[in-house]
Structure 1
Amino acid sequence: MNDDARTNIGTPAPTPGGPGSAELRDQVERTRDELGQTVEALAAKADIKAQAKEKKAAVVGQAAEKAALVSEQIREKTGYAVQLMKAKTPDPLLEKAGQAATAARANRTPLLVAGAVLVVFLLVRRGRGRRR
């Protein structure tokens, strides 16, 4: 009994160049390809890190889409609220607000310093209140 006969138990060993040997080689090649694909699929299912990365990428993508949608909704609602406030606010008050905004832009540095001083004052006061 030769080695080929032992590996193909139940099937006669083909003679090289005999009838059916090309078909048998094709069948063996197809079986190898199918087995390789099956092994790759099983390896992919067993690769937990890769699955976690794919899931993370999907979740990040969904979160980015959701954030963009919410951001757009907020912009729309803010624009609507601004239009509504402008429509309901008397003109003299709008003029005063415009003047105040212009003055604030012109004096940005003193306003920032005053704001920083106020924040420091409030933090110190809050810290002293906790010590008691």
Structure 2
Amino acid sequence: MTSDKSPATDQLRRRAEATREELGRTVAALTARNDVQGTLMHRAGRAGAKAHEAASRIGDLVRTKTPEPVRGRAVRAALRTRRQAAHAGRLARAKAPAALRAGVGRTARTARAHRAPLLGAGAALGVFLFVRRATKRG
């Protein structure tokens, strides 16, 4: 009978450990490849950063190219619009019946709870409408 320290046993242990490590790397690679949410979050982050950078460049360009009196009027108009929108929101909340507000709240909670089926149904509807429109043209 061989002892636990024989060269064949050590070699088998090393091969088993190497196989485990390789399997771990393979599983990690497959998990990363199939991590749709992580991929989408990464892409959304990149898109958001690009949009922020573009908006910043455009803002700088507008600030440098727009005369001061025009910028002042634009700022005042934006403030006025913001105040009017906030006032309209307060009025809508105050005048909407309680039953309507409760119903809207329930609908929003239900939609959040069933987000995946709603997105799937929306995507299916979009594909259906696209195919229908394409077949009418063709």
TM-score (norm 2): 0.42
Larger radius of gyration: 1
TM-score (norm 1): 0.43
**Larger fraction in helix:** 2
